[in-house]
């Protein structure tokens, strides 16, 4: 490989080393330079067709523009050089389109301004990217439904503040994950019509250059592109795009929560779940025994990065007057990277959860390491009708101290107390100190979550 052919990518979303860890080929393609310029051309062609439909430009000119405007004829090197001078890519593009279209070229970009073309192109990109995210979430929800159903009744320790608290089931945990993504699916559906809208309004957003034909052209252009028509110009009202990236922050935030659960549960001391086994995946360069949770680590990293971009998009909403002096440019960074990182995180989640190895025996073992103390509340609730709540609290507290200081199980400590054996035989004590008998409505919550998810 010569110096001329050395890779020049410098970020993880395009790196030959990291791009498939942090993104997907499909999402990179949607936001590639080639795809973006094609969208610019699509918008210019749609504008010409729309203006011809309402009699603003000759129909013959629109036909020529539609026929001759071709990305294959774009000189990208020249466009890059001119963009570097102008600061925006549309005037350099228009120069080339005019040259392609001959006499009809004088009608290219008629009545439009740079941001009209760029914003509408981004609306098209985001519309298609949201479709891809929507499909990924649906696939992930199917995986989570399977996990919730399969492990509906598999008991494990529920933990609060990283301490064992009360028994739950692994299916219950998966159902909580599922419900998060049910909500994300609903949020995405609600968001789409707010962001998939055309932006065509001219120099200051008033459509002044088209006289009384402005609304007609705007509507016809939206129809050509399959976009909605906004109530007002949105070139300095960026809430739609900010909402889209903040939705991605919510999605990746949920993935980060799942990743954190998996990473801790996969630690040697827990050993309750593992990411799918692939020879060499998660290997250490020095410790052959290591099996690092790589997909979860990538999901967590993406969550942190997209969160930063969500904040950037909120900052970019603060735009001055009728054309911003800089916040808009920040979106050029945040939007593509956020979608690529989110798609990469969803890809890693589908891999990790789709082949998740669940060690039910280890979960049962860990549930028993407190020797019954995890269900001290269950004992209190069953004894309280006989002794009163405060009295039973003291009784069970003393029994727990006995286990902590002298060993044995909670059942054994309780069985040694006359205040307990007065009401409960040994078999009953064993049953009420068995964690598997104190799952609350966890299994029923799984059923409810799956049923509600099926309606979305």
CA-CA distance, 229 to 219, in Å (whole number)?
6
End-to-end CA separation in angstroms for the chain: 51
pLDDT at position 290 is 52
How confident is the model over 26-60, as pLDDT tens digits? 999 999 999 999 999 999 999 999 999 999 999 99
For residue 321, give the H/E element and its range: none
Please give the residue that has the higher pLDDT: either 323 or 102: 102
Q: What is the mean pLDDT of the chain?
A: 92
Structure tokens at 281: 């995946």
CA-CA distance, 189 to 133, in Å (whole number)?
11
Helices (H), 54-159: 59-68, 76-86, 90-101, 114-150
CB 102 within 8 A of CB 91: no
- Strands 357-358 and 163-169, how do they pair? unpaired
Q: Is 284 assigned a catalytic role?
A: yes
Short-list 36, 126, 40, 198, CA closest to 342: 126
SS3 103: helix
CA-CA distance, 436 to 172, in Å (whole number)?
14
Please give the residue that has the higher pLDDT: either 258 or 18: 258
pLDDT at position 10 is 84
CB 13 within 8 A of CB 28: yes
pLDDT at position 256 is 97
Q: How far is CA 40 from CA 43, 131, 220, 400, 414, in A?
A: 5, 20, 17, 70, 76
How confident is the model over 177-234, as pLDDT tens digits? 999 999 999 999 999 999 999 999 988 889 998 999 999 999 999 999 999 999 999 9
Structure tokens at 331: 């979106």
The mean pLDDT of 274-295, rounded to a whole number, is 68
CA-CA distance, 42 to 278, in Å (whole number)?
43
pLDDT at position 288 is 45
What is the band of 291 on the pLDDT scale with cuts at 50, 70, 90? confident
What is the band of 390 on the pLDDT scale with cuts at 50, 70, 90? confident
How confident is the model over 353-366, as pLDDT tens digits? 999 999 999 999 99
- Kindly report the pTM of this predicted structure: 0.92
Q: In this model, does residue 1 exceed pLDDT 50? A: no
Using the structure block, give the residue that is written with the tokens 């070139």: 235
Q: Is 161 assigned a catalytic role?
A: yes
Rg from Cα positions in the chain: 30
DSSP 369: T
For residue 392, give the H/E element and its range: helix 389-406
pLDDT at position 279 is 66
Short-list 177, 149, 154, CA closest to 360: 154
Short-list 437, 374, 451, CA closest to 164: 374
> Which is the catalytic residue, given 284, 329, 360, 454?
284
Return the bridge partners of 163, or none.
160
The mean pLDDT of 139-151, rounded to a whole number, is 98
CA trace torsion 154, 277, 338, 144 (10° rounding): -20
Kindly write down the DSSP assignment for every residue of 267-307, as one continuous string: STTT--EEPPP-TTTT--SS-TT----HHHHHHHHHHHHHH
- Spell out the domains of the chain, with CATH numbers in brackets: 118-197+231-366 (1.20.200.10), 370-453 (1.10.40.30)
The mean pLDDT of 292-319, rounded to a whole number, is 94
Kindly write down the DSSP assignment for every residue of 138-184, as one continuous string: HHHHHHHHHHHHHTTT-EEEEEETTEEEEEEEHHHHHHHHHHHHHHH
Structure tokens at 398: 């003393």
- Residue 356 sits at φ, ψ, to 5 deg, of -60, 130
Return the bridge partners of 159, or none.
164
The mean pLDDT of 311-316, rounded to a whole number, is 94
Using the structure block, give the residue that is written with the tokens 């570097």: 84
């Amino acid at each position: 490989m010569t110096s001329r052919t050395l890779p020049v990518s410098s970020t993880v979303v395009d790196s030959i080393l990291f791009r498939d860890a942090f993104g997907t080929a499909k999402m990179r393609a949607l936001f590639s330079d080639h795809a973006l310029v094609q969208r610019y051309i699509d918008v210019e062609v749609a504008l010409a067709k729309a203006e011809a439909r309402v009699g603003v430009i000759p129909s013959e000119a629109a036909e020529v523009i539609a026929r001759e405007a071709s990305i294959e004829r774009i000189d990208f090197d020249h466009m890059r050089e001119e963009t570097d001078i102008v600061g925006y890519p549309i005037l350099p593009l228009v120069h080339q389109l005019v040259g392609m279209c001959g006499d009809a070229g004088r009608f290219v970009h008629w009545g439009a301004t740079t941001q009209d073309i760029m914003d509408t192109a981004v609306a098209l990109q985001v519309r298609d990217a949201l479709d891809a995210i929507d499909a990924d979430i649906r696939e992930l929800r199917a995986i989570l439904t399977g996990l919730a159903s399969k492990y509906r009744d598999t008991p494990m320790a529920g933990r609060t503040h990283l301490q064992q608290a009360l028994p739950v089931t692994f299916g219950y945990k998966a159902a909580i994950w599922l419900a998060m993504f049910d909500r994300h699916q609903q949020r995405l559906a609600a968001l789409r019509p707010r962001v998939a809208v055309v932006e065509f309004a001219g120099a200051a957003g008033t459509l002044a250059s088209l006289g009384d034909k402005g609304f007609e052209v705007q509507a016809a252009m939206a129809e050509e592109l399959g976009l909605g028509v906004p109530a007002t110009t949105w070139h300095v009202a960026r809430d739609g795009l900010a909402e889209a990236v903040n939705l991605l922050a919510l999605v990746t935030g949920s993935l980060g929560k799942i990743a954190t659960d998996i990473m801790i549960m996969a630690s040697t001391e827990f050993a309750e779940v593992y990411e799918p086994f692939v020879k060499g995946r998660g290997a250490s360069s020095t410790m052959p025994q290591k099996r690092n949770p790589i997909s979860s680590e990538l999901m967590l990293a993406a969550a942190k990065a997209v969160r930063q971009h969500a904040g950037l998009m909120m900052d970019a909403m603060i735009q001055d007057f009728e054309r911003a002096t800089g916040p808009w440019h920040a979106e050029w960074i945040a939007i593509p990277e956020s979608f690529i990182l989110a798609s990469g995180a969803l890809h890693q989640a589908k891999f990790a959860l789709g082949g998740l190895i669940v060690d039910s025996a280890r979960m049962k073992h860990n549930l028993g390491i407190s020797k019954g103390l995890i269900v001290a509340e269950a004992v209190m609730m069953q004894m309280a009708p006989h002794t009163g709540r405060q009295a039973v609290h003291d009784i069970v507290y003393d029994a727990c101290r006995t286990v902590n200081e002298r060993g044995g199980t909670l059942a054994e400590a309780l069985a040694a107390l006359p205040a307990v054996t007065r009401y409960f035989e040994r078999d009953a004590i064993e049953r009420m100190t068995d964690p598997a008998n104190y799952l609350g409505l966890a299994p029923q919550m799984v059923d409810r979550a799956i049923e509600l998810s099926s309606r979305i």
